[in-house]
Structure formats: structure tokens, C-alpha cells
Structure 1
Amino acid sequence: MTKQKHGQGRMKDTLRYQTIYFLFAFFFFAGSLRAQSPADSVAHVIIGDIRVEGNHRTRTGIITRELAIKSGDTIRTNLLAETLEIDRRKIINTNLFVVVEMIPEPNADSVRTDVRVVVKERWYLIATPVFQLADRNFNEWWYDRNRDFSRIIYGIYLSYGNVSGRADKLRVLAEFGFIPKFEVSYSLPYLDKAQKTGITVGASYSTNKTMAYRTWRDKLSYLNSEDINKKRFYSFVTLTRRNKYYTFHSLDLRWSSTNITDTIAVLNPNYFLKGRTKQTYFQLTYSYSYDKRDNFQYPLRGRVGGIQFSKIGLLPSDKINQAYAYGSYKQFFQLSERIFANSGIRARFSVPKRQPYLQTIGLGYRNDLVRGYELYVVDGQDYGLIKNELKYKLFSLQKHLSWIPVRQFNTIPLAAYLNTFADAAYVRNSYPEFSNTRLGNKVIYGGGAGIDVVTFYNIVARFNLTINGKGERRFFFNIAREF
């Protein structure tokens, strides 16, 4: 009886092991069969021919240089659309085209998938009249300069892009009126066969009669004059290097010469320091940037950042010895189908702390400002700036006007976004007595809401209602074009 029970027990154990082995074998072979199933064999596509169409002037290599996909690549089917969209954005960000489409099509061999890159080129030769204000922005002219039309700059701007079909550009600027200026530059982004190294050369000459000679209580002080009080000339050569799609290096060498009258030197002996009336120097600047935004003109997704180191005064004969470091980073988020956000930080540090007024740079110029303080200039040697924004897309459309015969102008994009923003900054001024600053050496902040309108050829118009830390409420308007 006992032997019979032991025999039955051994049979049960054997049966249990056989069952486990069978199940293991079943799942193993089922998994292998599933991995080799016909359904999975079409989960990837093989890139066939890549054809570029519509590039009448632009060389094909300039376009294919932006593509990560190559003929023969294997890409998962569910990632094909996203991969093509990323490459499409890179091509549109060259600023050579109005429209870019990436169209996958079956190859004649029925195995591979071809890609058609269809582009519509911009109008490359643009001669536009210059009619702008001499002030830092429209709002300063409107509120602080009493809408004085004598402060108008007029002239002509000539931009000849894609001169040789290699994304090169010739720029000529001739301005008259309040600040006469003449500039010329030529850039060739790809010198070598590897299409990684480029060069830009240029020169500029300008004169001032009425000019800002100091900052006092965070406002620019002007000398009104009929005589020329300032002359400036500079020339430069910049080498650029683009090893990867999103990283850029540049090395800029320039020579600058500026002369002011004795009147300016008396009004502000710190303009060049020690009451000097002439400043000449060489300057060497290295810049690195990483730019992976979906659109350079008006980004909604991605990130951009960079650092810059500069030495002003390279020779013993240069009457200035100064250096600075500048860094920035900005992240763009898509929170939902229509809601977007971005947040960024910028900072600048310079030495020594005793600097000429002309090289003492704080907040208030270009986009380095706290919104709500557009009417102020906060001088200082170092600063940090934080900017945040939340926006809602009202609409984004692209209208094709078939009745316009010129193809570069018959496709008009138009978009509008509601936005709200909040900024904060701190400017450190080591010599506040020179400008009697009220905003330096303390935290300043501002915020508001508005609407952005984006249209073709990189034009962005901004309408904002703001409030700053001083309790000032104002409406500000700004229009800009990214070249």
C-alpha cells in the first residue's frame, strides 16, 4: 500500500513537471512565432529614394544636409510620421522656404518607402524701405519722447538671400535721419564639403548728433545737438561651426573705433573712462548654442540655450580691458492641443567692475528686460533674468491666394495667441552713484497679458497690457522680424 502511494506520488510529480515544461515550451515557441509573424514584419519601413522638389535656386545638398533620414534606413512604422515632421521643421528653420512638405510614397519595388521633400522657396531678393524709431522701442518713443517725428530713421535695407544657392546671404543697409548708418555683410554658412564650417564678414559706420550720454534714475539722458557728437566704425569676421543638427559654435573677431566730442566727455567723463574722447580695441568672442525649437520664428515646443565668452581689449594699445560671460536657456512646452508654456533664464557676469559707460550693459535693450519696464534702462555689471509665459492658440492657418501670380507671396500663414506672462530680475550695479539708479541692486518684477500675431516672413506683432513692481500699468506694442 505504501509502495503504491509512493508510486502514485511520483507519477503526479512527473505529470506536474511535464505540464510546466509543456507550458514553458508553448509560450517560448508562441513568442518566437509571434516575433516572426507577418503582422510584425510590416511594423518597420525601409526608406527608399529621397527626392527634393521645388528648389529652383537652392542646392539639393543644402536641404538634404538637414535630414536625419537616409536612404536604406529602417524606421518603425508608428514613428515614421514623427521622424519626417522633425526633419521638416529643420528644413523650414533654414528660413529659405515658405512651405515644406515631407510626403512618404511606396517605391516601385513595393518593399521600400520613398520620401518626397516638396519645398516652396521664399522671395530671396528683398529691398524694403527703412522707417523706424531711433529709440530702444516704440513704447519709449510714444511715452517718453512725446512721439517726436524728428527721431525717425529712414533708408533702405537690401537682403539678397541664397545668392549662390548655398544659403548664403548679402545684406546692405543705408539709413539716414536721426542716426545715419551704413552696414554691409556677407555670410556663407558652408565653406567645406562636409557643410559644417561657415564664415561671415562685415563692416558698419554710424554717426550721432543727438545721443544718449548717460543713464540717470534708470532713464537715458540725451544731448540735443545739430553737430555730430559721436562716430563709430567696426569691422568683423566670424567663423561658424555646425557639427550636429542643433549645435552651433562661432568665433568672432572684430575691431572697433569710436570717437566722441569733448562735450560728451565733459558731461560724462565715464563714457570711455578718464574723460577720454576715443576708444579703439580688438574684441574676441566665442559662442556656443544649442537650438532645438520647432520654429525659430515663433517656437512652441523644444528648447534653446547657449553660452558666450568675450574679451574686449586684446592688445596693449587698446584702451579697455574687460571680459564678460553670458548664458541663457529657454524651454518650450505643449500642455494640450491649444495651450503652450515657456520658461527661460538669462545671466551676465563681467569684470572688472569699473567699466566705461558704453560697455556697462544691464537690462532694457532688445529682449533683455522685465516686461512692464520697457521705459527703463537698468545699468549694471551683472544681472539675472527669469521670464515665464503661458499662451493659448486662438487660430493658426495657412491661406493660399491663387490670384497672386508670384509663388513666394501667394501662401500666407497667420496665427494668433493669447498670452499671460510673469518676469523677474536682479541687476547688480557696483557704482550706483554714477547713474543714481532706483531699480539696480534689488529684485524687480512685472507681468501682464496680451495677444501675439504671427504672419509670414518672420513678422511677429505683440500687444501687451502690463503691470510692474512700481505699480505702473501700461499698454505696450512691439513688432519685430527675425532675420
Structure 2
Amino acid sequence: MLRYLGLCGLGMWLLLAVPVLAQTEPIPADSSGLITIGSISIEGNYQTRTNILLREMALHEGDTLRLFQLPERLEIDRRKIINTNLFITAAMQLIPDDDDPAVLNVRVVVKERWYFLAMPVFQIADRNFNEWWYERNRDLRRTTYGLYISYANVTGRADRLRVLAEFGFIPKYEIAYSIPYIDKAMKIGVSTGISYTTNKTTVFRTWNDKLDYFNSENLNRERFYTYVNFIRRNKFYTFHSLDLRWNSTQLSDTLSRLNPNYLLRAQNQQNYFQLTYSFSYDRRDNVQYPLRGRQYFVQASKQGLLPSDDLNQAYLYGGYRQFFPLGGRWYASSGARMRLSAPRRQPYLQTSGLGYRSDLVRGYELYVIDGQHYGLWQNEVKYRLFNVQKTFDWIPIRQFNTIPLAAYLTAYADAGYVRNYYPEFSNTRLGNTVLYGAGTGLDFVTFYNMVFRLNYTLNGLGEHRFFFNLAREF
């Protein structure tokens, strides 16, 4: 009888105090009674199939656990649902069962995103905004324009169709389709796509750790690839993928003469198959802007599978990053990446290094450091200024009337190293030396996965300036 009354009291307390779990105080640790998960219901998924959400949840109907464990378990499931990038918000509600006080029902309330986006494209064609701003004199001719279409959740199974048509400085045409699950066990997914790009003005070499362009009115490079990628998700946080693609590059005779090492031996065409295996573990609280959790990955690729292929090369790439709270509004992260490749003599087109995407020592945004191997170590501390979420009922479209906004002050310090066996090919002064960079900044995080970053950075050369970055996780 005492146990029955105690569970009744706890059930009433949960009903009153935990209407939306993400906004409640934690259940006291001494509330150690066992409860059973009754029904799990989903609301707000007008297009998304229910089994897609249930696939993300570790809790199932009939599970038994201690009451004090429930808030953390539900919060973990809520984050996994948000990380599908299908929903603006997700809330977990607990409802005591009318017939059994030892049973709690779970209601998941989601707010879906706007899945179909047809957006005009207008963007700079350079490696990043800062290179265009500081190095290219903000030349508006170095822009691309066109149309980007993204139709997410086409069939309600978290699949996505993407179409891109860009014109201007670098014409590009792409189409891709992906579906995360094609089997009944919901473990295997597949994606496929094609891409075609042409260049008149083309990077033909890296010199003094800067990109050199050849300007022409004639077509100087064509690149085409097509791929099929199989993904296996055995557990919630682990992913295996196997990517098979065919790559083709055609150069003008002028470009191959300007840099005989572009494809090696002054060749003007390169065709090859590529097979890449990737493994990743991703347990971040939010893939858009993580504050807790960890992520690591490893990727092995063989470029050139047939004797007739024009390339015979391989690389191994991997990294690890940890995100952790320091208490209060303070957070920190630290991580490292490394890439090894073989053989030593490589075409310029396949020679990688620091300076592309997020693989850079902050402070060296204006530089490209080519090489056969590299390592990178990045560290950051941040302080949350605010994190709010506003709903504007006067906006009629529900996918756009909830706007989250958060701001963080950041401080960071990075180090990196690039091993270049042929420094004479690029006249590098940054290759084969340790690179350092540090700075402070301000990050704004808002809806539809957009992150704005404004940084002030000092690098190992004594250079210091402001850098701006806009990132978006599609």
C-alpha cells in the first residue's frame, strides 16, 4: 500500500512538474521507484513517418527503469530526434497511466521544418569569404548565381532530393538523392548523385602558399563525377559507409603546360574509380552547434582501382573532438585531425593540405598549405551570452514562426603542421613548419542550421585581422 501511494504521488508530481521535460527541473535522485514505459505517442509529424522518430529513441514501450533515470534518458532521445534535422523543436511529455500508477506514458511533440526549399543562389566562388574580401578585391565578377532546390523528407522517411544549377564564375550542375533506410531493420541507407563543373578562370597552382589563377575566355577545366554510397547504421551513434565513384577531369593544353604537375607528366585528362570506407561515431548533443558529447571518424580511400585508371593513390584521414561543459554558461572543446597519403609524388589536383573547409589553423584563412600529410589541433572555450526561442503567432506558416537565437563569446587556439616533400613545386614557406593561431570571436546560432561567426585572430606570422564565416548544415 505504501509503495502504491508513493507511486501515485510521484505520478501526480510528474504530471504537474514535467509537462515538457526539456524545460523541467530534474527528478530528485532519491526517487528510486521502478516505473514502466507504457505507450509512446508522436504528435506534430504531419509528413514524417512515425517509425522514423521511434528509430531514434532508445526507450521503448514496456521498458522498466528507475524513475530518477527517466529525465536523462528522455533528453538524450530528444536530442537524437532534433539531430535528424527534420524538426525545429521536439519536446518529451510524461503522462501517468490512468489504470496503473507504476506506468508512465510518453508523448513526443515535434514541430516539423519546412522541407521544400527553392532558393536563389548568389555566392562567392573563392575558397572562403575572407579570401574574396581581402585577396580578390571584393570582385563581384567572382560570384556564382543560380538555383538550389532541396526537398527533404520527400516520402516521410527522412530522404532528401537536392538539385543545384549554378552559373557565373564557376558553372556547376548537381543532382543527388539519399534515403537513410532501405531495409526493414532500418539500418542500411543509400545515396547517389552526379556532378558536372566547368572552369574558364582556374586555379593552376599554389605559390607562396596562395592560390594562383589562370584567367581565360576559353574553357580550361571540366570535372565530372558520379557516385553511389551505402551507409549502415548499426547503433544510434555509429555509422559505416562505402562510397564508390567515378571521377573524370579534362584540362586544356594551356593549363597542363602552365603546371605539368597538375595531373603529372603534363597530362590533360584523368579518369579513375575511387573506393572509400568511412566509420564515424557521433554523440554530440547538437550537430548544428555542439556543446556536449564527442565525435570521431576514420576514412580510408583508394583512388585508382583498375589497371587502366590514370591515378594510383591512397589516403587515410581521421579525427576526434570532445565537447564538454565547464559549469554555468561556460563550455569547451578540443580535437585533432590527421591525414596521411601515398605515394609521395602526387598530382597537384590530389595534393591536399590545410586551408580548405574547416581543416585550417584559424588565423591562416588566407593561406593554402599543400602537402602529402598534415595534422591539426583545435581548442576552444566559449561563454553563452543568451539562448532564446521565440514563437510569433502572427506568422501564418508554422515552420517559420518559431525562431531560436543563441550567442556565444569564444576564445580559441590552434596548431597545425603540413609535411611537403616537394616544397619547390609551391615555393612554400609555411609547409614543413609548425603553425600557430589564436583569437576571440562571437558566434550567432539561429534556425535552419545557420551559424554566423565573427573572429579576430592572430597567427604565427604576426598577422592579425577580422574574419567572417557563415556555415550551414544541410
Q: Does 1:51 align with 2:41?
A: yes
C-alpha distance after superposition, 1:395-444 (max 9, x if no partner): 00100000001000000000000000000001000110100100000100
Report deviation, 1:108: 1.6
Report deviation, 1:337: 2.0
C-alpha distance after superposition, 1:188-227 (max 9, x if no partner): 1100000000000100001000010000010000001111
Q: Does 1:219 align with 2:221?
A: no
1:476 matched residue in structure 2: 467
Letter in 1 for 2:44: G
1:133 matched residue in structure 2: 124
C-alpha distance after superposition, 1:307-351 (max 9, x if no partner): 000000001111110000000100001001200000000000000
Distance in 1 between residues matched to 2:66 and 2:253, nearest whole Å: 71
Distance in 1 between residues matched to 2:143 and 2:201, nearest whole Å: 12
Q: Does 1:73 align with 2:63?
A: yes
Choose which of 362, 368, 388 in structure 1 pairs with 2:379.
Answer: 388
Choose which of 238, 260, 278 in structure 1 pairs with 2:251.
Answer: 260
TM-score (ref. length: structure 1): 0.92
Report deviation, 1:480: 1.1
Structure 1 segment 5-154 matched on structure 2, within 5 A: 43-111=33-101, 112-154=103-145
Cα RMSD (Å): 1.4
Letter in 2 for 1:55: N
Report deviation, 1:352: 0.1
* Large movers: runs of 4+ above 6 Å: 34-42
Q: Does 1:271 align with 2:254?
A: no
Report deviation, 1:117: 0.5
Choose which of 282, 306, 310 in structure 1 pairs with 2:297.
Answer: 306
Please, which runs of 5 or more residues in structure 2 have no aligned partner? Answer: 8-29
C-alpha distance after superposition, 1:436-468 (max 9, x if no partner): 100000100101000000000000000000000
Distance in 1 between residues matched to 2:54 and 2:6, nearest whole Å: 33
Choose which of 181, 185, 199 in structure 2 pairs with 1:194.
Answer: 185
**Structure 1 residues 36 and 127, CA gap change in structure 2 (3 angstroms):** closer
TM-score (ref. length: structure 2): 0.93
2:432 matched residue in structure 1: 441
Report deviation, 1:77: 1.3
Q: Percent identity?
A: 65
What's the secondary structure of 1:57's corresponding residue?
A: coil
C-alpha distance after superposition, 1:271-304 (max 9, x if no partner): 0000000000000000000000000000000000
What's the secondary structure of 1:334's corresponding residue?
A: strand
1:399 matched residue in structure 2: 390
Choose which of 226, 231, 246 in structure 2 pairs with 1:235.
Answer: 226
1:4 matched residue in structure 2: none
1:460 matched residue in structure 2: 451
1:210 matched residue in structure 2: 201
Distance in 2 between residues matched to 1:294 and 1:41, nearest whole Å: 26
C-alpha distance after superposition, 1:333-390 (max 9, x if no partner): 1001200000000000000010000000000000000000000000000000000000
| Higher Rg | 1
Q: Does 1:412 align with 2:398?
A: no
Letter in 1 for 2:421: S
Residues 176-185 or 44-53, more deviating: 44-53
C-alpha distance after superposition, 1:66-110 (max 9, x if no partner): 000011111211111111000000000000001100101101213
Distance in 2 between residues matched to 1:413 and 1:76, nearest whole Å: 33
Letter in 2 for 1:106: P
Distance in 2 between residues matched to 1:428 and 1:354, nearest whole Å: 13
What's the secondary structure of 2:327's corresponding residue?
A: coil
Distance in 2 between residues matched to 1:41 and 1:150, nearest whole Å: 66
C-alpha distance after superposition, 1:4-58 (max 9, x if no partner): xxxxxxxxxxxxxxxxxxxxxxxxxxxxxx9999689962221110001111010
Distance in 2 between residues matched to 1:232 and 1:437, nearest whole Å: 27
Structure 1 segment 165-176 matched on structure 2, within 5 A: 165-176=156-167
Letter in 1 for 2:252: T
Please, which runs of 5 or more residues in structure 1 have no aligned partner? Answer: 1-33
Letter in 2 for 1:258: T
What's the secondary structure of 1:239's corresponding residue?
A: strand
Q: Does 1:327 align with 2:318?
A: yes
Distance in 2 between residues matched to 1:299 and 1:333, nearest whole Å: 9
Report deviation, 1:147: 0.5
Contact 2:31 2:68 in 1 (8 A): no
1:26 matched residue in structure 2: none
**Structure 1 residues 42 and 268, CA gap change in structure 2 (3 angstroms):** closer
Report deviation, 1:154: 0.6
Distance in 1 between residues matched to 2:48 and 2:259, nearest whole Å: 51
Contact 2:32 2:68 in 1 (8 A): no
What's the secondary structure of 2:288's corresponding residue?
A: coil
Distance in 1 between residues matched to 2:278 and 2:118, nearest whole Å: 30
Report deviation, 1:129: 1.1
What's the secondary structure of 1:149's corresponding residue?
A: coil
Report deviation, 1:139: 0.4
